[in-house]
Chain A
Amino acid sequence: MLNQKKNWMTGVFFTLVSLTFVVVFILALIVGRYDISIGNFFKMLFSQNGYEMERSIVVNLRLPRTIIAALTGLALSVSGLLYQETFQNKLVSPDLLGVSSGAGVGAALAIVLGVSSVFVSFFAFGFGVLTVLATMFVAKAFQNKSSMVLTLSGIIVGGCMGAVLSFVKYLADAETTLASITFWLMGSFEHSVMDDVYVLLPIVTICSIVILAISYRVNIVALGREEAQTRGINYRAYRTLIIIVATLLTASSVAFAGTISWIGLVVPHIVRLMLGRDTKKTIPMCMLFGATFMVIADILSRVFTAAEIPLSAVTGFFGTIIFVVLLFVRRDTIREND
């Protein structure tokens, strides 16, 4: 009886969030500095000729940035959830193994070296992945395969990358490159183009297919090594696969949108509050909800003022409010050992 009610509620949540996603996606194409009415938007959509200005703005500017926003939201939210489940720690964010700080160093170096914006993304992606590899290498050097050692190695390597970033910033020209680095680190979809979509979309799609295929098994990995292994799950192989997928998702998002805080931490919490713990349900919902959340954040970043507000400021502000409300609602269920 209770199970039937739960399944019904899950269906309702999925329908509501899917509908919201469609609505905010369309809204993101309409809203912006250049005013396009809803009527004109749909006329443009269904007519071959006319509305050239509107068509150009929607297709060349707003469509790529909205797709990138949705993909980034999906990627960061699901990698946050994967890290939280795998490391049995609800306060973990996708940056646990240092991927964002590494990507930040890569982007800052590329900006200081004066390479084109496409290469900034590639530098960021490459350094993000290299940093996680360095974390795994440090953990291996300790000759201890526990998750705790991996987490500590992430803190060590992430901290080291933070120091390198400070050094690169110190070397940067205060008038030009330092400002670019700072803006990049705050995250933005302002310069997103369709070429970015062609790179990000396949990475996110492949990673999503892999993780959806093993979504039920993520539950068992979350039981820890002993219980997972004695139930027939190769814990270390699955943990490595999950880390690879989460790293690729985070590094590619950070490469095209900069570092965006909070979303990887807050969205998994909201989703668990809606659907419970089963990763068979929470993983697809995290994808859908994260994409919706980020598209809304992108809309908000460009409607309040003439200049765009950095994404991290929007996600940080709203993320904090949502987090406080969540903690307040669930304050009775929080225990010492959680």
Chain B
Amino acid sequence: MKMIDVKELSFKYQKKGKLVLDKLNFSCEKGTVNVLIGLNGSGKTTLIKTIAGLLENYQGEVFIDGKNLKGLSIKERAKKMAYVSQHSNAVDDFPVLDYLLFGTVNKMNFYQSPKEEDKKRVLDYAKQFGITHLLDKKLGEISGGERQIVSICGAIVQDTDLVVLDEPTSALDIKNQHAVLAIIKKIAREQGKTFILSSHNPNHALYLSSNVFLLRHGKILAQGQAEDIINIEALKTVYGEDICYSVELPYKEISFKD
């Protein structure tokens, strides 16, 4: 069963501008982790935002769980998928608990606010994510890594089958990168949710044992299982001739020669 089905998808930011996404065709099965890999400007963020319903004037079709994205209301979209942006714009003085509770709003009427059972559910998720010690702190008081984990937890609180993440590890140190990826891996394994995320780092796709889409100039150059796709020849088409493997690690580590 397809969770995401993209057909002939093209997008440009300005009418006379160049195509950022160029007639893309691909699909993601339910319960899989999918990683978009490519250089800056390859169209990763644009594709992620289009799937999340944040960019409207695209050509072609995007189906989420069999439904055309353009036919879904904003509320229906939020019931099907959650989104984590690269940098949360949430003001620093929201307490973490209040911020997580905002994720429950997709199942409420306009006049309602979270109830006790919503709070209990959020507390359960916070336990799973290991962030109960942060709940009373304000967003501005926690580290960048903690904030990104809080954002992902906020998306999981939305209780959707699909989670869309735009470069969730950008601007994080390697310890926090690992913490974020470990959470994604755990949630994908335990809850069977479908993930699609963009990343600059091919190692992340290997670590997540994901499906990979290699993007360049708005086109998909290659797609398939990370172990199959992430090979030197494929990566050279994206990153250039200087790319190589490091073999000392239990999983393949991509690096550069001098």
Contacts and interface: CB of A to CB of B under 8 A. Distances in A.
Contacts of A276: 93, 95
B53 interface: yes
B90 A227 contact: yes
Interface string B88-113: 11111111011000110110001111
Contacts of A231: 78, 102-103, 105-106, 158
B142 interface: no
A223 interface: yes
A220 interface: yes
Contact of A277 (B79, B98, B112): B98
A224 interface: yes
A188 B54 CA distance: 47
A334 to B, nearest CB: 11
B78 A230 contact: yes
A178 interface: no
B56 to A, nearest CB: 10
Nearest to A238: B110
Given A230-B78, A232-B105, A88 B85 contact: no
B70 to A, nearest CB: 14
Nearest to A278: B98
Nearest to A224: B89
B69 to A, nearest CB: 13
B74 interface: yes
A13 interface: no
Given A213-B110, A220-B102, A234 B90 contact: no
A234 B105 CA distance: 12
Nearest to B93: A277
Given A231-B78, A231-B102, A276-B95, A216 B113 contact: yes
Contact of A226 (B81, B83, B102, B112): B83
B75 interface: yes
A177 interface: no
Contacts of A229: 53-54, 74, 78
Q: Which of B91, B93, B106 has the most CB of A within 10 A?
A: B91
B52 interface: yes
Interface in A13-66: none
Interface string A47-90: 00000000000000000000000000000000000000000100
A214 interface: yes
A54 to B, nearest CB: 44
A217 B75 CA distance: 13
Contact of A230 (B83, B94, B97, B98): B83
A219 interface: yes
Contacts of B242: none
B94 A277 contact: yes
Contacts of B140: 335
A16 to B, nearest CB: 23
Contacts of A2: 136
A234 B95 CA distance: 23
Contact of B105 (A217, A222, A224, A226): A217
Interface in A185-239: 213-214, 216-217, 219-220, 222-227, 229-234
A3 B140 CA distance: 19
Contact of A233 (B79, B105, B114): B105
Contacts of B200: none
Q: Which of B54, B74, B112, B140 has the most CB of A within 10 A?
A: B74
Contacts of A227: 85, 88-90, 102
Interface of A: 2-3, 88, 213-214, 216-217, 219-220, 222-227, 229-234, 272, 276-278, 280, 335, 338
Interface of B: 52-54, 74-75, 77-79, 81-83, 85, 88-95, 97-98, 102-103, 105-106, 110-114, 136, 140, 158
21 contacts: A2-B136, A88-B89, A88-B91, A216-B112, A223-B88, A224-B89, A226-B83, A229-B53, A230-B52, A230-B54, A230-B78, A230-B81, A230-B83, A231-B158, A232-B74, A232-B75, A232-B78, A233-B105, A234-B74, A272-B93, A335-B92
Given A226-B83, A277-B94, 5 more contacts: A213-B111, A219-B98, A223-B102, A227-B88, A229-B74
The 10 A-B residue pairs with the shortest CB-CB distance, nearest first, are A232-B78, A232-B106, A230-B83, A216-B113, A224-B89, A232-B75, A213-B111, A2-B136, A234-B74, A277-B93
